[in-house]
Structure 1
C-alpha cells in the first residue's frame, strides 16, 4: 500500500530491499504511474484506507488469483523477511481459509490482525473476502482498515492463526525493534501492548528468531535490516584472520 507522495520517500526503498524477494509484488495507489503503481480509483487519506484495501484485494482476486497461494498486505514503511514468512506459511494449506499476522483483541470477537505489521490471507480467505462484499455480508462499516477487515474475516468464517514461535515470541511487529527489545520502566502500557491478544515480552527475548515484519521503518532502517538479515555473519570467531 502506497500513495503518490510516498513513492520516492518510502516505497522505492521497500522495492530495493525486501520486496525483491516476493514472487509477485504490486504497489497499490490512487493513480497509475511508471513506478509501477496500480490505480485503485480511490482517494488518498487515512479515512479511505479500508476502501483502498477492499479495492486492492478485489483487483488481486480478479487479476492475480492464480499467480500466488498467499497474499500479504504491507504498508510502504513495513520491512518484511520474506523467507521467514514462507516458513510460517509452509505449515498451512492455502486452499483452506487462513488469516495471519499480529493478533489484536478489542472490537472483534476473534480478534484482528494489525495493519501496520502486515497480514496474510490464504487464497481461500481472499475468495471469501471478495465474496463477502459481493453478497453484502461484509460492508465498509468503518474507516479503521485492519479492524474492519478482521470483522469481515470473522463474518466469512476465516479463522485467525497464532503466528508466535514455539517459545511464545511474536513474529509480526507493528513497531520497530527498539520498541520491544528495550525493556521499559514500570508504568502505563503503550496502546499496542494493551491491544495485543497474547502477552508481549520486552527485552532481548522480545522477538522471534524468525521475525517476519516490523512497521514504521525509515528508509535508512530498511537498508540496515537488509544488511543484518542477509549479510551480517555473527560467527566469525570460527575463522582465522
Structure 2
C-alpha cells in the first residue's frame, strides 16, 4: 500500500487470501472458515478462481463497472509498474478475448509474473469461473485457471517480455539471458521481490526513472 498501492484507487485493489491476519490490508477470505484449519494444497489453489468470482461480482456492483477494462492477477511478492502496465494494455482492445502475461511456464501463465485479463474475457466469468478446479497433473492455479478459461471461451494467450517471473538480477545470468534474450523492455513486473525492503528500493528506483522521463 506504500508503493504501487498509492497510485491506484482502493476500490480497484482486491487482496485475496485464506485468512485475514493483517488489518492494514482489505483481505477477502475466499476459503470457508471451517476449511481454513485443514485446508489442502488443492483447496488453497482454488482461491484464485474464488477470488476472480468475487472480484467480478464487486465490479458488477460498482458505479465504475463500465470503466474497468482489465483485471490483473499477481502474487504478493510481485513488483508492478502501473505506468508501464497502462502503456502495454493501451496497445490492445479490451473488448477482445485476451489474457496477456508471460505464457512460457507450461499450459497457463507464470503466475508470479502476473497477467492481465481483458473485459472481453472477465465479463463471461459469472457463468463458470467459480467452477474451475485443479486437474490431474495440473495443480497450480496459474495453470488450471487459464486453461479453464480457455476451455470455456475463445481467449487468446499473449506472451509479452514485459512480464517477468524472476527478479531483475536473474536476467543478468546465463539462465536469465536464455529466458529473455531480447531483454524485458519497459518492464511491467518482476517476481520474488523479497524482503519488503528490496521491493521498496526497486519501487523508488522506478519512481525516480519515471520522474526523469
TM superposition score normalised by structure 1:
0.70
Alignment map for 1:93-172 (pairs within 5 Å):
93-104=93-104, 106=106, 108=107, 112-133=108-129, 138-141=132-135, 142-155=138-151, 156-163=153-160, 170-172=161-163
Kept after mapping to 2: 8 A contact 1:129/1:152: no
Kept after mapping to 2: 8 A contact 1:97/1:125: yes
Question: What is the distance in 1 between the residues matched to 2:148 and 2:8?
Answer: 26
The DSSP-based 3-state class of the residue aligned with 1:20 is helix
| Structure 1 portions without partners, runs of 5+ | 1-14, 164-169, 194-198, 236-241
Question: What is the distance in 2 between the residues matched to 1:160 and 1:83?
Answer: 22
Kept after mapping to 1: 8 A contact 2:164/2:190: yes
Kept after mapping to 2: 8 A contact 1:50/1:148: no
Aligned-pair CA distance for 1:69: 1.4
**Greater shift after overlay, 170-179 or 24-33?**
24-33
Question: What is the distance in 1 between the residues matched to 2:179 and 2:156?
Answer: 22
Distance 1:233 1:31, change over 3 A: closer
Kept after mapping to 1: 8 A contact 2:94/2:119: yes
Q: 1:175 and 2:166 equivalent? A: yes
Q: Which of 1 and 2 has greater Rg?
A: 1
TM superposition score normalised by structure 2:
0.79
Whichever structure has more helix as a proportion of its residues is 2
Aligned-pair CA distance for 1:130: 3.8
- Name 2:54's counterpart in structure 1: 59
The DSSP-based 3-state class of the residue aligned with 1:173 is coil
Question: What is the distance in 2 between the residues matched to 1:89 and 1:122?
Answer: 9
Aligned-pair CA distance for 1:19: 2.2
Aligned-pair CA distance for 1:64: 1.6
What is the aligned length?
194
Kept after mapping to 2: 8 A contact 1:99/1:119: yes
Aligned-pair CA distance for 1:95: 2.3
- Name 1:226's counterpart in structure 2: 203
Of 13, 16, 23, which residue of structure 1 is paired with 2:2? 16
- Name 2:78's counterpart in structure 1: 78
Q: 1:91 and 2:88 equivalent? A: no
| Runs of 4+ with deviation above 3 angstroms | 31-34, 42-49, 232-235
Kept after mapping to 2: 8 A contact 1:58/1:130: yes
